[in-house]
């Protein structure tokens, strides 16, 4: 059996997989590997019925996930545009410039893209792909939650323009078991050490 847990690394949130080498594969010959989270979602999505089974929509789900991952990297780089090895305070001027561009150009572009994907879903705009929950819906929820923590003013303004995105966020949060998780101590609050950080001077 391969067991999973999540651990922070300097690449962001990684998933730790434990299993024997034969299960993990010859290029990862260690008992404990840190796997790229987006890759392991392909694996977990199949195991836990959180991804379409047909190849084309399955690949499409992964593609949406990778685009969300790009957005996460850009959200992170608003507070660390120069180097993750430096303190925020040592790159604050650059962070202000980068955050301004992110909120003006990049974030609306990403949100408009996901809004369009939802609007065009022939099964309706309540899921990012197909007519059932997939891991990409869960990821979209988490990204929106992080952005709302980091940039509350901007997100409040943008919410009206990206209704479908906001509805997916709200519906995931309202799922009984997700709601129970969010209300529990297992849900770590957003903070100033993570990918999403709230620096008021970076929000408009």
Residues that bind a copy of itself (CB under 8 A): 11, 22-30, 35-36, 38-40, 42-43, 52, 54-64, 66-67, 70, 73, 77, 81-83, 85-86, 91, 94, 97-98, 101-102, 105-106, 117, 120-123, 128-130
When the beta carbons of 20 and 193 are compared against a copy of itself, the nearer one is 20
Pairing of strands 3-9, 12-18: antiparallel
Q: Compute the least distance from the CB of residue 147 to a copy of itself, in Å.
A: 18
Q: Compute the least distance from the CB of residue 195 to a copy of itself, in Å.
A: 14
When the beta carbons of 40 and 150 are compared against a copy of itself, the nearer one is 40
Q: Compute the least distance from the CB of residue 121 to a copy of itself, in Å.
A: 6
Strand 3-9: give its sheet, edge to edge: 3-9, 12-18, 32-35
When the beta carbons of 125 and 194 are compared against a copy of itself, the nearer one is 125
When the beta carbons of 35 and 182 are compared against a copy of itself, the nearer one is 35
When the beta carbons of 90 and 187 are compared against a copy of itself, the nearer one is 90
Bridge partners of residue 3, in order along the sequence: 18
When the beta carbons of 7 and 30 are compared against a copy of itself, the nearer one is 30
**Residue 139, Cβ neighbours under 10 Å: how many?**
23
Q: Compute the least distance from the CB of residue 189 to a copy of itself, in Å.
A: 27
Structure-token pair, residue 33: 């590997």
* Cβ-contact 134, 180 below 8 angstroms: no
- Could you please report the per-residue DSSP string of 60-77? HHHHHHHHHHHHHHHHHH
Structure-token pair, residue 84: 């993750």
Q: What is the DSSP letter of 28?
A: G
Q: Compute the least distance from the CB of residue 124 to a copy of itself, in Å.
A: 11
How many separate helices (H) and strands (E) can be counted in the chain? 9, 3
Q: Compute the least distance from the CB of residue 29 to a copy of itself, in Å.
A: 5
State the Cα–Cα distance between residues 27 and 201, nearest whole angstrom.
Answer: 44
State the Cα–Cα distance between residues 113 and 174, nearest whole angstrom.
Answer: 24
State the Cα–Cα distance between residues 71 and 67, nearest whole angstrom.
Answer: 6
């Amino acid at each position: 059996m391969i067991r999973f847990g999540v651990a922070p690394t300097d690449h962001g949130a990684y998933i730790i997989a434990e299993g024997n080498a034969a299960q993990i594969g010859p290029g990862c010959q260690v008992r404990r590997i840190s796997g790229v989270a987006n890759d392991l979602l392909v694996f977990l999505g199949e195991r836990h019925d959180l991804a379409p089974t047909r190849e084309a929509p399955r690949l499409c789900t992964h593609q949406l996930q990778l685009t969300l991952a790009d957005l996460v990297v850009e959200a992170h780089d608003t507070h660390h545009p120069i180097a993750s090895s430096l303190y925020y305070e040592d790159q604050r001027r650059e962070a202000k410039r980068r955050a301004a561009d992110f909120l003006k150009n990049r974030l609306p572009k990403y949100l408009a893209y996901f809004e369009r994907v939802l609007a065009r879903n022939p099964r309706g705009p309540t899921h990012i792909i197909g007519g059932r929950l997939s891991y990409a819906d869960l990821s979209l929820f988490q990204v929106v939650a992080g952005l709302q923590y980091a940039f509350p003013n901007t997100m409040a303004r943008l919410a009206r323009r990206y209704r479908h995105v906001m509805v997916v966020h709200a519906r995931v949060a309202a799922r009984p078991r997700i709601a129970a998780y969010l209300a529990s101590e297992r849900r770590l609050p957003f903070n100033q050490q993570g990918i999403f950080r709230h620096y008021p001077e970076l929000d408009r």
